[in-house]
Amino acid sequence: GQQLNQSPQSMFIQEGEDVSMNCTSSSIFNTWLWYKQDPGEGPVLLIALYKAGELTSNGRLTAQFGITRKDSFLNISASIPSDVGIYFCAGQNSGGSNYKLTFGKGTLLTVNP
Amino acid sequence: DADVTQTPRNRITKTGKRIMLECSQTKGHDRMYWYRQDPGLGLRLIYYSFDVKDINKGEISDGYSVSRQAQAKFSLSLESAIPNQTALYFCATGQTDTEAFFGQGTRLTVV
């Protein structure tokens, strides 16, 4: 089945630093999604990418849909303590009864004030 | 009030017991999902339903069953719980292929 490799597994950074994390896949996806999970909560969608090469921003977050459709990255600029959490990438291929939103294993982000 | 509500939020149960986790939603979405989260393994799909009469197995359905009682309700059952089913369980809803709105999770411990 489809697998996503998300890296890094964890990051420890100082407040104000920029952060980058990425996902790669052995197969093509039509959609890439990035979620954030706060401690004790369910994941919440941050950014959705629908076209190869697409670059989308949401405040201090920027994500790109790789041109090969097999990868995506998420950047966080000028990190703040509330950025702490687990970030998940997810890839999806639309249509049919074989629906499956495949998640990466997550990147645990710790921000030191 | 949360749009996707899971009950209970925490549960400890003994090996061999039957347990049901419930999910209800007020978003009016047709699609509902059950995921399991384990440390270092991300989110894995257990079952999903595209409408009341539709039930589909996900990647790790063994040992689980589901019931879609209504558009707004989707329950997950463990017929005979075992310790390796200890995990954080999430229900999610969506209206399109790319939507997944998650509940707050149920932390299940099987002893």
Q: Convert the pLDDT of each residue in B74-89 to its tens digit.
A: 999 999 999 999 999 9
Extract the tokens encoding A65. 């849909």
pLDDT tens, position by position, B45-82: 999 999 998 999 998 999 999 999 999 999 999 999 99
B48 vs A88, A99, A106: nearest CB: A99
Task: Give yes or no for a cis peptide into B83 (omega within 30° of 0).
Answer: no
Lookup result for tokens 């939507």: B99
pLDDT surpasses 70 at B23: yes
- Nearest Cα residue to A29 out of B31, B47, B98, B59: B98
Contact B92/A42, CB-based, under 8 Å? yes
Nearest to B42 by CA among A73, A87, A19: A87
Contact with chain B for residue A39, Cβ under 8 A: no
To test the contact with chain B by mutation, choose from A21, A34, A50, A101 the residue with the greatest count of B C-beta atoms within 10 A, namely A101
- Using a CB-CB cut-off of 8 Å, the residues of chain B touching A41 are 104-105
pLDDT less than 70: residues of chain A: 1-2, 94-100
